Structure 1
Amino acid sequence: MSIGLPQRETNPELPSRVTIYEVGPRDGLQNEKAVVPAAVKAEFIRRLAAAGLETIETTSFVPPAWVPQLADAREVLADLGDLGRGPRRPVLVPNERGLDDALEAGVGAVAIFGSATETFARKNLNRTVAESLDMFAPVVARAKDAGLWVRAYVSMCFGDPWEGPVPIGQVADVAQRLMDLGADQLSLGDTIGTGTTGHVSRLLDALDARGIGTDQIGVHFHDTYGQALANTMTALRHGVTVVDSSTGGLGGCPYAKSATGNLATEDLVWALDGAGVQTGVDLAALVETSVWMAGHLGRPSPSGVVRALAGG
């Protein structure tokens, strides 16, 4: 596929390199109505890796009743072999049982998924925020003892569909408690996509005041209101260098119906390439992968860059 590239004008306000944390195989596919076969998921991950994406969240060890689309985690990882292991191939685990499954599969990294709000904590984990933190404590401790890299997600950082605006101090409290458990990285989730640039700046400043610097933070924006890329660029200007995105803009959240797709990896790469920021990603290969996956899903990619470059 022969595609154009953006005119490159280096932006000195941005970091020279950004790590893309690809969530398409996990967060992207978990909300699809159709169950994608394990072999297709494994091939999706292989294609993403071949396109230059170094960090790929591959799957989730959650009970099949919760997320049936990812019930084949063991099969996917078995298909991938060594490509599915190591610190650059995290899997989501909700509790110690999930960690047991992940360790048995030989993974090198795990992620836990907390909430900044009580309502979402109960809907997602059937626990209060405090109870969920108590549940995560042994997961993180055991994972670190086993030599695994650990990421902590905080959802509903910029708004909650049931509780409305979420105080920045409340988000910072939960974030600090998660990092105090021993997590290596914190991902700030705009689960329903209501965040704006000023809100992003204020939250990052609040976390910095708690001793959680941008070198420990990733950002995870959904594009419900078209703000994901603007919010991401704001975070990068603050020094963040890890950005969550999903190839083709796949994703959402099965427990928050107002959450639409993630920031599309192609849209992110186009913007960063134009600003002279290195990602190591081959945009043409990524677009081909999105078109390929869209064919398996039976619908076109929502990514603007994919539509522009692939002609549909």
Structure 2
Amino acid sequence: MVGYRTTSNPGSERTRMSRVSAAVRLATDDNWMPPPSVTNNDDFRFVTCSKPGCPSSSAYSEYNAITLRAGYDTCTNHTTVDDVVNRVRTTIKPVNSVFIFYDVEVTSNNEIDQLSATTTDGKHIDLVIKTMVRKNNSPLIGKLSPFVYMLVATEPVAALNAFVEWVKNTVRRMTDGAGTEDDVVLVAHNGMNHDHVLLLKTMLVWGISPPKWRFSDSLPIFKLVIDPENKATLDVLASKYAPWFQHTHHDGLSDAMAIRHIVTKGVTDWEIACLVFSSPCEYFVTSVGLNTFNIRPTLPHTDTINFQR
């Protein structure tokens, strides 16, 4: 005869303590990510191309969505030079603008494992972030031994908060304390479809309210305006506009520095160009549908749990 373990009474002390133990295990797992939930489909406010018959929308991370996410009413293929010129004429650079060039590297399941940024004066931050599975894209970080990686890698929440604080300190330093988060312009290459989306989504998932930064994309500056006929990958542009710079593809800091070089050296009025292909945080969040994310309450930490019976 096979004996079966009896099921615990749902109201018993044993069941209660089992639930507490499960909560503690999840709450103290630094890689546990609270899943986001979509609230209401009516909250989606994607931008569609105004060109009759064009199906392009800001909902999908594709080349045509870049200009729609940057505040244009036409997709990238239907945005003309005249449209860009008109945007230039109405764009004014705030006195305290601070431009930060950055890059994120991700694992195969889109977890950020490296977040790097650099300023116009060369100051930088380079964060290695722990993920559920270690599979680093960076050829430099990938060479780190498990022990060294354990020492340098940062928990996601700590890394994101460190990045936000670094940006704040950068603004204070570069504006003598006069700038605010509204003056920050984060520039990434293909950022409208990749870096900006992942950075903001990860912040929201971890319960961090995104600052009121502007988000800019360097890709359309080159692909749409400067040299539409040629490839505009970061490797190609770095080789052309910054041949002295030894670019390491897929290393976050190297990519961020490459973006700074190609933009500041390859574009005459680069600050206006970055602003022309940018949008404020609130607009961008809405245009990609991140405004529908509702963060579920995180599980309690051990210091908030009473273990007394």
TM-score where L is the length of structure 2: 0.28
Structure with more contact order per residue of length (Cα contacts < 8 Å, sep ≥ 6): 2
Q: Which has the higher helix share?
A: 1
TM-score where L is the length of structure 1: 0.28
